[in-house]
């Protein structure tokens, strides 16, 4: 039974149940009506009776309608069942035809399978015959290969056997040669033993002869062998030392003459090519006033203005009898310049009181910072350096107001850089690196009043902190020999610094310091043994040392000059260099009678 037939049967069953229920309900209603009729008839105008009658009539109409609907549904179900039976019959017919078609197709497939199976059997037999033939041929080939391999192995074994026989023969011959060599070695050893005994006897005889000869020499010379050896060694040692000293002196003289000539040429060329201005400054600045009555306004009521000025700027203000001028004193040149600008602006403005002093001081401070930065930029442009740390530029700008022996430090750095660059070009070195070393060698002077220590070491620490190259740092720390110079950049930095500071008119010093330096130079040279007179010449740039010729020879004169120069380097501080010249005069006197 198909799914459609099952659904149709279920629907007809449900409709039948519905019709039965409706009929049963209609019978109950009719029975109720019949039961209530035989009794007493209610009044025709009773509303309840009328309502009940209408309701029952309505219910009866509904039941009739439901019965009619159920009858129509039953008729439709019967029609649908008939149609379903028709469709089922058609389906059965189709199924019968399909089964017959399937039997026919199955019979054809079986016949085709039988034919395919027969062909497969025939193909398998053919393939098996071919495989047997191929296996037979492969077996024959393998047999042939194995036969060839066996033949080659037998031939190889024969060759190895022949080589073994030949090797055994060679070994036998080698054994015979070794036995013959052993016999010869034994005879040679016997001869060597005899010769060794003979040599031992001869050595003993020679030792006895040498001993007798030495005793005879000692008897004749009156000295022992050890004493004679010591005397000969001392004589040779003294002679060697003297010859070495003479050779060293000649080499040093040649090297010094050549080096001095070359260095003089380089230094003179560098100084001639550098044209720099020179100004002398001190720790006191002078400010000219428009009139003397301005001094009273600067002092203020009971001196309040001058006290406010000194406390704000940190600069001492000296007001004396000098007409139309006041003095500003401070060891910090930057602070002194800020104070000078502050006072100049106050004088021009005319309003001088403590609050105004503080305002003008801030303005002057910023103005000096701008001037310092501009001075550093100008110096860098003049030297040709571009990649410099901003903090180093700030320190360089502060050197604009710093002096050393009257020489402006920033101008000294520029001049030193130019001289170093010219020297580097003459020596075919890298001018950029050497100019950078020379330009930054005195950078520590900007911090010497803030940090303890030598300005060379301070400058090296600052340069190292802001990423300068190791060669630049070494040149800075070694330009005053706090650290021994190890590079050509450090040596040229020292030389250019000496040229800039030692040239005529570059620096000045007090008379007292100058006289003390000359006295100390003469004292150092005069304290050496054999010195007769000492003369400090050319403003202390050269020392002439007169020695007694009987006490000091030529070699001693060279040693004396070196010792004096070394002690001067260790004890004194001076710009440039000092030449030490030792003069030895030999005099021969005869009297004619």
Contact in structure between 522 and 534 (CB atoms under 8 Å): yes
Burial class of residue 255, CB neighbours in 10 A (0-12, 13-18, 19+): exposed
Round to whole Å and give the CA distance between 533 and 539.
18
Round to whole Å and give the CA distance between 403 and 9.
129
Q: Which two tokens stand for residue 340?
A: 């000078």
Residue 34 clears pLDDT 80, i.e. is over it: no
Model pLDDT, residue 42 = 46
pLDDT tens by residue, 228-262: 777 777 778 777 877 777 777 777 777 766 766 66
Contact in structure between 422 and 400 (CB atoms under 8 Å): no
Question: What number of residues does the chain have?
Answer: 593
Q: Which of 429, 450, 562, 547 is nearest to 495 (CA)?
A: 429
pLDDT tens by residue, 372-415: 888 888 888 888 888 888 888 888 888 877 777 667 788 888 88
What average pLDDT does the segment 514-536 reach? 85
Strand (E) or helix (H) holding 162: helix 47-221
What average pLDDT does the segment 272-288 reach? 54
Residue 575 clears pLDDT 70, i.e. is over it: no
Terminal alpha carbon distance of the chain? 181
Q: Residue 277: which pLDDT band, with cuts at 50, 70 and 90? A: very low
Burial class of residue 345, CB neighbours in 10 A (0-12, 13-18, 19+): middle
Model pLDDT, residue 7 = 67
Model pLDDT, residue 232 = 72
- Mean pLDDT across the chain: 79
Model pLDDT, residue 502 = 63
Model pLDDT, residue 78 = 75
Residue 324 clears pLDDT 80, i.e. is over it: no
Q: Cα-Cα-Cα-Cα dihedral of 469, 475, 481, 486, to 10°?
A: 80
Round to whole Å and give the CA distance between 186 and 373.
99
What average pLDDT does the segment 104-132 reach? 86
SS3 category, 81: helix
Radius of gyration of the chain (CA): 67
**Predicted structure pTM score:** 0.42
pLDDT tens by residue, 71-87: 777 777 777 777 777 87
What average pLDDT does the segment 347-367 reach? 84
Q: In what order do the strands lie in the sheet with 325-329?
A: 284-288, 325-329, 316-318
Higher pLDDT, 346 or 33: 346
> What does DSSP say about strands 579-584 and 542-547: parallel, antiparallel, or unpaired?
parallel
Q: In what order do the strands lie in the sheet with 531-537?
A: 531-537, 542-547, 579-584
Model pLDDT, residue 37 = 43
pLDDT tens by residue, 36-85: 444 444 444 577 777 777 777 787 777 778 777 777 777 777 777 777 77
Round to whole Å and give the CA distance between 73 and 81.
12
Higher pLDDT, 123 or 226: 123
pLDDT tens by residue, 188-229: 888 888 888 888 888 888 888 878 877 777 667 666 667 777
pLDDT tens by residue, 452-474: 777 888 888 888 888 888 888 88
């Amino acid at each position: 039974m198909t799914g459609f037939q099952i659904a149709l049967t279920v629907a007809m069953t449900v409709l039948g149940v519905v019709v039965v229920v409706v009929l049963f309900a209609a019978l109950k209603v009719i029975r109720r009506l019949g039961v209530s009729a035989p009794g007493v008839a209610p009044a025709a105008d009773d509303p309840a009776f009328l309502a009940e009658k209408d309701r029952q009539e309505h219910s009866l109409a509904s039941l009739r309608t439901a019965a009619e609907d159920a009858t129509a549904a039953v008729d439709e179900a019967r029609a649908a069942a008939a149609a379903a039976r028709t469709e089922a019959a058609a389906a059965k017919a189709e199924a019968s035809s399909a089964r017959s078609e399937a039997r026919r197709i199955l019979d054809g497939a079986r016949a085709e399978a039988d034919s395919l199976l027969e062909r497969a059997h025939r193909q398998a037999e053919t393939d098996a015959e071919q495989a047997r033939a191929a296996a037979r041929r492969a077996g024959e080939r393998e047999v042939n290969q194995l036969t060839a391999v066996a033949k080659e192995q037998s031939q190889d074994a024969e060759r190895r056997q022949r080589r073994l026989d030949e090797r055994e023969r060679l070994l036998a011959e080698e054994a015979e040669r070794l036995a013959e060599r052993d016999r010869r070695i034994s005879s040679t050893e016997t001869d060597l033993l005899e010769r060794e005994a003979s040599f031992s006897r001869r050595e003993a005889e020679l030792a006895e002869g040498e001993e007798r000869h030495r005793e005879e020499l000692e008897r004749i010379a009156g000295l022992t062998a050890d004493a004679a050896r010591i005397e000969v060694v001392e004589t040779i040692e003294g002679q060697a030392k003297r010859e070495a000293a003479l050779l060293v002196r000649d080499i040093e003289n040649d090297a010094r003459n050549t080096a001095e000539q070359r260095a003089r040429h380089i230094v003179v060329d560098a100084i001639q090519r550098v044209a720099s201005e020179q100004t002398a400054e001190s720790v006191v600045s002078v400010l000219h006033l428009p009139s003397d009555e301005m001094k009273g306004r600067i002092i203020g009521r009971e001196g309040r203005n001058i006290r406010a000025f000194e406390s704000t700027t940190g600069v001492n203000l000296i007001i004396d009898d000098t007409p139309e001028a006041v003095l500003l004193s401070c060891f910090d040149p930057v602070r002194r310049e800020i104070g000078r600008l502050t006072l100049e602006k106050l004088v021009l403005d005319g309003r001088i009181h403590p609050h105004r002093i503080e305002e003008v001081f801030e303005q002057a401070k910023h103005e000096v910072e701008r001037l310092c930065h501009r001075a550093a930029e100008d110096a860098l442009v003049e030297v040709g350096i571009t990649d410099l740390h901003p903090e180093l530029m700030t320190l360089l700008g502060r050197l604009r107001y710093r002096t050393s022996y009257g020489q402006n430090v920033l101008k000294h750095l520029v001049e030193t850089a130019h001289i170093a660059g010219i020297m580097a070009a003459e020596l075919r070195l890298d001018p950029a690196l050497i100019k950078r070393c020379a330009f930054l060698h005195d950078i520590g002077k900007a911090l010497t009043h803030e940090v303890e220590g030598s300005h060379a070491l301070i400058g090296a620490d600052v340069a190292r902190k802001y990423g300068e190259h190791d060669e630049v740092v070494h040149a800075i720390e070694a330009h005053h020999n706090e650290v021994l110079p190890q590079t050509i950049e450090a040596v040229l930095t020292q030389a250019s610094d000496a040229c800039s500071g030692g040239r005529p008119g570059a620096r000045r010093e007090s008379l007292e310091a100058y006289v003390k330096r000359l006295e100390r130079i003469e004292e150092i040279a005069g304290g050496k043994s054999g010195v007769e007179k000492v003369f400090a010449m050319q403003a202390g740039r050269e020392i002439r040392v007169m020695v007694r010729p009987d006490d000091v020879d030529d070699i001693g004169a060279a040693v004396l000059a070196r010792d004096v120069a070394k002690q001067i380097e260790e004890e004194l501080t001076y710009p440039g260099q000092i030449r030490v010249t030792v003069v030895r005069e030999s005099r021969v006197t005869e009297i004619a009678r």
